[in-house]
Amino acid sequence: MPEKIVVADRLGAAGLEMLRALPGYEVVETAGKGPQALDAALDEAVALVVRSETKVTAAMIAKAPKLRVIARAGMGVDTIDVDEASRRKIPVLTAPGANSNSVAEYTFALLLALARKIAPASASLAAGKWDRKSFEGSELRGKTLGLIGLGRIGTRVASIAKGFGMTVVGHDPGVSAEQGEALGIDLVPLNSLLQRADALSLHAKLTPQSRHLLDDARLAVVKKGVLIVNTARGALIDDAALARALAEGRVGGAALDVYEAEPLPADSVLRTAPNLLLTPHLAASTQEAQTRVATEIASALSDALLRKDFNAAVNRAALSA
């Protein structure tokens, strides 16, 4: 009897083909079939593949007594109980580099849309108006971009920003001064970055320490009129604090692609905040990124199952402890 690889969220065809080709394994897809189908499949699952939709809780892990590997087709693991997986000695694999370019490009698309007021101008024209005076924008050249988080995506955004003639400052406790110098990024304390930046872009991991990183206190020290883009994790920003800062004009505009609760609740304060551009978690949604993330995680899962190679595991240290 072949062992079961359960794919709980939609995965690119190229990745599915690679998984189906693994000798001794059968792929069971439960995406779109509801929680009961997933629960039934977990009983025999030796591997579980998820995207951001499925939340891998301790309770879910307990329903899979044969589970040996959890694979996240993407980078963030805040939807996975990594501590519980580590306690059960289950490696949690990720595909960290697959969607970096797509997210970085989308980040800049949102920043340009804010700076040039593209969304409200389009809505105005669609409503039958021809109003050019209300939508005067600003150039990015010569402005300062503050990056919070300098991983693969943050550094790619920095590269694009330099192509636009922007000055780039960054904050990331995990990056040394020497690394910052090599990247051509001026590393500064967070408050200094907030005070200097004409535009802020968030690329930090979500941790207990970074939750609501931008709250009332930090939004009170930003440069007046700053533009904010978040394509990382929604909970990095306190929604109510951002709505207040937008209403008061301290923040000139914001573009969000990620949210603390997804889908975005109908009663979210973000839905009525001014000068706010909202998109439904689209940054990694390109054909190229979907193919790369699917094949990268399929390759990592193949290595783990067939060769017990867990180099792609984010909890390697805990597994070897």
Catalytic sites, residue numbers = 233, 262, 281
> 8-25: buried (b, 16+ CB within 10 Å) or exposed (e) per residue?
bbebbeebbebbeebeeb
